[in-house]
Structure 1
Amino acid sequence: MPKKKSATLFEDALAELEQLVNRLEQGDIALEESLKSFERGVALTRTCQQALQEAEQKVQILIEKNGTQSLEPFTDEPSVKRIP
Structure 2
Amino acid sequence: MPKRAINLEKSLRDLETLVTKMESGDLSLEESLKLFERGIQLTRQSQQALNDAEQKVEILINDHMQTFPLNPDTQFDKVEPDAVAKSDD
Alignment TM class, shorter chain as reference: 0.5 to 0.7
Q: Which residue of 1 aligns with 2:45?
A: 47
Identical-residue share of aligned pairs (%): 55
| Structure 1 residue 17, shift from structure 2 partner | 0.5
Q: Which residue of 1 aligns with 2:57?
A: 59
Amino acid in the other structure paired with 1:17: L
Bigger relative contact order, structure 1 or 2, given CA contacts below 8 A and separation 6+?
A: 2
Amino acid in the other structure paired with 1:16: D
The root-mean-square deviation of aligned C-alpha atoms, in Å, is: 2.1
Unaligned runs of 5+ in 1: 68-84
Higher strand proportion? 1
Give every structure 1 segment of 4 or more consecutive aligned residues whose post-TM-superposition deviation is greater than 2 Å.
none
Amino acid in the other structure paired with 1:18: E
| Structure 1 residue 51, shift from structure 2 partner | 0.5
Is 1:18 the counterpart of 2:22? The answer is no
Report the TM-score, using the length of structure 2 for normalisation.
0.63
Structure 1 residues 2-41: Cα deviation after superposition (integer angstroms, max 9, x where no partner): xxx94x6111111100100111111111110000000000
